[in-house]
Chain A
């Protein structure tokens, strides 16, 4: 395999890139892992209300050391604060917000995304490893815009952007846009369409590490 020197965004740069696409006044759910960091990179002047599935709308910043409340956490089990205008609610209300189409954007991690928008992010094919679905399946059916934020390839170099997912699906045809360290891609009826390349990368280089055709 030819070694290509690809330009990659850092995790912080990727979080900032996702944040750019979240409009003022949005209700947003941030998934576990990388997506959690998007809120820290929101441009000044935008008021975005963050929902966490465990029963808070209006998740605020992480508290100062010593100010943590063990009963005020987010879905990643991190200590958080309540922003002005926040509310608390129980689980079936929380999932009514998610499933019922009330949240505008969700940002999720993924194992695989297919060119038809299928998402796999809850189970692998390793049967000794217990599957854990959490709230992902509810989010993807209910939230109109699903942003996936993930590495472009697996650690072994195999692609995560594919013609069809090989892992069990979380949802069918649900992904709107994919952000990786190498490129931003939209999912369209015709397949992945390039939105932008990380500066310094050429399309054919990114295409070479992608398991499906990238349209321009």
Chain B
């Protein structure tokens, strides 16, 4: 088994127009910047992007928004300093927005990867974000029924991988990357280092079964 691919272009080639794409990262860390650049060059459009943020400045998801490739954003926190391209596309109605509480976003993605039909969470009960959703009272406490969130693809950033697709991370660059590997049907990870020897099984964070391809992207800021 060898999940490594030669270059970024090959890694993003299977992503079609209209695909749903989970993109790892929180703030500026753990974002698969090289894969996003490759996706931009590849040209897929009408994408649904699932990510915590909606890009900032002229990097990452902001590039996809600027180029008009994104039809919908599902995220918890679109409004960050410098999220100008999201705001432009949102204000003109070119991009649809679904705001999901951050823990619910992570858990909906996990539910998809874990084969669950949904879950009950107290998060958002009684608020605008629970409107139209099923609710239940258990032990005197209100819960909201949340459904799994699947995606066709996930673009991830990791520190290292081996050819079996096992991933290791660095510090807070881990964030959404492991759970998105589970939630997407086809997860692609860019890694700083593609190791010739297997990762120590004790230090594997994301087991290779959740990852379909890995590509070395070298050192990036």
Neighbour of B103 across the interface among A69, A130, A135, CB < 8 A = A135
Q: Pick the contact of B174: A90, A128, A138 (CB < 8 A).
A: A90
- Any chain A CB within 8 A of the CB of B170? yes
0/1 string, A131-149, CB within 8 A of B gives 1 = 1111111100110000000
Tell me the interface secondary structure of chain A in the complex: loop
Instruction: Say yes or no: A130 contacts B28, CB within 8 Å.
Output: no
The stretch of B8-16, B37-45, B123-131 in contact with A is B123-131
Partner of B106, one of A91, A123, A129: A91
Residue B26 contacts which of A54, A98, A99, A129 (CB distance < 8 angstroms)? A54
1/0 per position for B92-120, CB-CB distance to A under 8 A?
A: 00000101111110110110000000000
Docked pose: A70 CA to B172 CA in angstroms: 9
Q: Is B221 an interface residue (CB 8 A)?
A: yes
Q: Are A130 and B87 neighbours in the complex by a CB distance under 8 Å?
A: yes
Closest partner residue, chain A, to B90 (CB atom): A130
Question: In the complex, are the beta carbons of A73 and B176 less than 8 A apart?
Answer: no
Residues of A within 8 A of B153 (CB): none
By the criterion CB–CB under 8 Å, are B30 and A71 in contact? yes
Q: Which 3 A-B pairs have the closest CB atoms?
A: A95-B103, A138-B103, A77-B27
21 cross-chain CB contacts under 8 A: A54-B29, A54-B172, A54-B175, A72-B171, A73-B29, A73-B172, A88-B174, A90-B174, A90-B176, A91-B106, A99-B121, A99-B122, A99-B123, A130-B90, A132-B78, A132-B99, A133-B129, A137-B104, A137-B127, A138-B123, A169-B128
Please report A residues at the B interface, Cβ cutoff 8 Å: 52-56, 69-75, 77, 82, 88-92, 94-95, 98-99, 123, 128-138, 141-142, 168-172
